[in-house]
Amino acid sequence: MKRLKIVSVILTASVLAGITSCSSEPAGTTSSSMEPTTTAEVETEATTAEPEITETTRIDPQSTEPLCHIYFEEYDSFEVTSTDLVDGVWADITSNTFLGENLSPQLSWEPVEGAEEYVIYMVDRNSNGFLQWKSAGIKTTELPQGWTSNLTEYNGPHLGHGYTHIYDIYVIALRAPTTRLKGALNAANPRLEEFFEEIDTDTEGNTGNIIAYGTISGIFTDARYRNI
């Protein structure tokens, strides 16, 4: 499949919002590794979804600076942990690459009072709301590695080009089940924030459905660009 190569100097508002919206980003600088797109390449690009990448990011995996979060900040928060996140880097096994097995990360958190269920989203922050994980109806607070359905609910990091991207996992505690989780898996979702807002309405149309959220963030680096 031919991949669309995007001119690296174009910085879209969505990428800037994900990378530079706050001062608590991990230490890193932006760089380009893309070539200009030709008309022929655009016309022959396959329809299979790929991240809409407009810049790449070099991030120091040893940085102790916390990552900022751009969704759900108006709600109370709780801690989420994962044994598949080490020194701020997602384990290779969680990736859909030759290095990994495309297994969803292990997650755990403390029960949230009043929560009937939890939903999970994993977002590639550098690719216009690109979703790697979307699951609903979760009743437990401990998910083992590989818990979710491979490819139908989870498709791990698989950078087609670029250096390092930030992947945020959101665990959202709900008072009642939501009608449905919007957002296309393994595709860019420019309206992702709007979809998140709709979770706050339950199946009967009552608002105030979100009690709290937990989040955990880490980076994953394209294997072709490691150690450079």
Q: What pLDDT does residue 161 have?
A: 63
Amino acid in position 196: F
Find, among 175, 144, 163, the residue nearest to 32 by Cα. 163
Per the structure block, which two tokens stand in for 15?
């990428």
Checking if the pLDDT of 152 tops 80, the result is yes
Checking if the pLDDT of 71 tops 60, the result is yes
What's the rounded Cα separation, in Å, for the pair 110 and 178?
21
Checking if the pLDDT of 29 tops 60, the result is no
CB-count burial class (<10 Å; 0-12, 13-18, 19+) for 167: buried
Find, among 43, 135, 132, the residue nearest to 94 by Cα. 132
Instruction: Read off the pLDDT of each residue in 170-178 and give the average, rounded to a whole number.
Output: 95
Checking if the pLDDT of 140 tops 60, the result is yes
From residue 62, how far is each of 15, 184, 201 by CA, in Å?
23, 32, 39
Instruction: Read off the pLDDT of each residue in 125-147 and give the average, rounded to a whole number.
Output: 95
H/E stretch holding 198 reads helix 192-198
Q: Tens digit of pLDDT for each residue in 182-213?
A: 999 999 999 999 999 999 998 888 899 999 99
Instruction: Read off the pLDDT of each residue in 57-76 and give the average, rounded to a whole number.
Output: 58
What's the rounded Cα separation, in Å, for the pair 70 and 16?
12
Share of the chain above pLDDT 70, in %: 67
State phi, psi for 40 to the nearest 5 degrees: -60, -40
- Residue 2 contacts residue 44 (beta carbons within 8 Å): yes
Q: What pLDDT does residue 170 have?
A: 96
Predicted TM-score of the model (pTM)? 0.71
Collapsing DSSP states into helix, strand and coil, what is residue 118? strand
Per the structure block, which two tokens stand in for 77?
């928060």
